[in-house]
């Protein structure tokens, strides 16, 4: 049974966080920098097409009971880019990430204000199962189902339609998903083996393949490498960079070096607020906000 609609917060107070508007374009398709001291939202080079905005948070506020976890966040999520959300523990980044496909609704005390749009449509207007296929989640700990490698990837494909497809019909999409996750050549001879026999890194890539099998438009990743060794982490990061060519990727990470390696855009959050949003190179090398400078400089974490 799907969860009930999340309780809505009435937002009467003025925003307390940085607003990130759509990029204004001039006649040549170039973006303009924001006001001095604000968030810089660059436009594409003249030779490139404007970036497609896949999702958008408009004044999103999330609370658990009386405690506000995310406060009035405005944030764009673009197709073909990796967005990294960084900040100290408890700053609201995972809560915001989980709200993008309405996983916060699984917490009884949760409530939300503002709007989250997917291709211009309010996600509250979408059936939740459909939303979670279009906006899929990979969690911090690998969580393969206690079944075969093949059945893990095929699970969503079997459950999604009115007619249960046969294994032969599922082979092509399963192979495609495992290939996209960089795992096919490692498991193709062992598709009927239990997924729990795989290494931790392989299990995480299997979970990514399971998400990709539904062909999502957005992939959410909550600390996907925190439980992995350096070699497995490098494979996941390489996969993230490959996936961004096809979909929008949003990753929450405490690892600033990882954010620098994979992110096109970075959002720094602190105490539930969006402090700064900028291209990764700018945010790490020339941050506009003092609090961002302190965080990336190691003054607190």
**Would the pLDDT of 17 be above 80?**
no
- CA–CA gap between residue 53 and residue 160 (Å, rounded): 27
Which of the residue ranges 10-24, 44-58, 124-138, 160-174 has the most confident prediction, judged by mean pLDDT? Answer: 124-138
- pLDDT value of residue 42: 41
Task: Give the other-Cβ count within 10 Å of 144's Cβ.
Answer: 21
Q: What is the mean pLDDT of residues 113-131?
A: 96
Cα 224 to Cα 204: distance, rounded to the nearest angstrom? 8
Beta-carbon count within 10 A of 143 CB: 13
Strand order in the sheet with 273-279: 135-138, 218-222, 248-252, 82-86, 265-270, 273-279
pLDDT at 15 over 60: no
Is the distance from CB of 117 to CB of 58 less than 8 angstroms? Answer: yes
Spatial distance between the Cα atoms of 214 and 135, rounded to a whole number of angstroms = 10
pLDDT of residue 182: 93
Report pLDDT digits (tens) over 68-91: 999 999 999 999 999 999 999 999
Instruction: Look at residue 16 and tell me whether its pLDDT is greater than 90.
Output: no
pLDDT surpassing 90 at residue 48:
no
Supply the pLDDT for residue 98: 97
184-217 per-position pLDDT tens digit: 999 999 999 999 999 999 999 999 999 999 999 9
Residues 252-281, mean pLDDT to the nearest whole number: 97
**Percent of the chain having pLDDT more than 90?**
76
**pLDDT band of 9, cuts 50, 70, 90:** low
Please state at what angle helix 230-243 crosses helix 200-212, rounded to 10 degrees.
20
Q: Give the Cα separation of 20 and 38 in Å (integer).
A: 9
Higher-pLDDT residue of 36, 153? 153
Model's pTM, two decimal places?
A: 0.82
State residue 161's pLDDT score.
Answer: 61
Q: Distance (Å, rounded) from C-alpha 265 to C-alpha 129? A: 28
Q: Are 267 and 70 in contact (CB under 8 A)?
A: no
Residue 153 has pLDDT above 70, yes or no: yes
pLDDT of amino acid 213: 94
Give the Cα separation of 250 and 56 in Å (integer). Answer: 12
Residue 50 token pair: 């404007």
Average pLDDT, the chain: 86
Q: Kindly tell me if the per-residue pLDDT of 108 is higher than 90.
A: yes
**Residue 37 — pLDDT band, cuts 50, 70, 90?**
very low
């Amino acid at each position: 049974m799907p969860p009930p609609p999340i309780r809505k917060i009435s937002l009467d107070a003025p925003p307390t966080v940085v607003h990130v508007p759509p990029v204004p374009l001039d006649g040549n398709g170039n973006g303009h920098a924001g006001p001095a001291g604000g968030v810089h939202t660059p436009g594409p080079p003249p030779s490139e097409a404007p970036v497609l905005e896949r999702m958008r948070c408009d004044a999103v506020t999330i609370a658990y009971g009386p405690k506000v976890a995310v406060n009035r966040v405005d944030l764009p999520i673009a197709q073909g880019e990796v967005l990294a959300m960084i900040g100290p523990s408890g700053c609201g980044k995972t809560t915001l990430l989980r709200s993008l496909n309405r996983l916060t609704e699984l917490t009884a005390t949760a409530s939300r204000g503002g709007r989250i749009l997917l291709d211009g449509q309010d996600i509250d207007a979408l059936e939740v199962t459909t939303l979670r296929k279009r906006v899929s989640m990979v969690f911090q700990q690998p969580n393969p189902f206690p079944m075969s490698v093949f059945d893990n990837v095929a699970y969503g494909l079997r459950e999604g339609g009115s007619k249960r497809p046969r294994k032969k019909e599922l082979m092509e999409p399963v192979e495609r998903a495992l290939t996209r996750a960089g795992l096919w050549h490692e498991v193709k001879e062992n598709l009927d083996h239990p997924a729990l026999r795989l290494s931790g890194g392989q299990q995480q890539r299997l979970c990514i393949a399971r998400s990709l099998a539904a062909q999502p438009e957005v992939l959410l990743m909550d600390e996907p490498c925190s439980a992995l060794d350096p070699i497995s982490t490098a494979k996941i990061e390489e996969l993230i960079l490959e996936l961004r060519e096809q979909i929008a990727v949003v990753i929450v990470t405490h690892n600033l070096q990882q954010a620098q390696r994979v992110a096109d855009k970075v959002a720094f959050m602190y105490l539930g607020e969006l402090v700064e949003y900028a291209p990764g190179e700018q945010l790490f090398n020339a941050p506009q906000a003092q609090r961002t400078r302190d965080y990336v400089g190691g003054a607190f974490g």
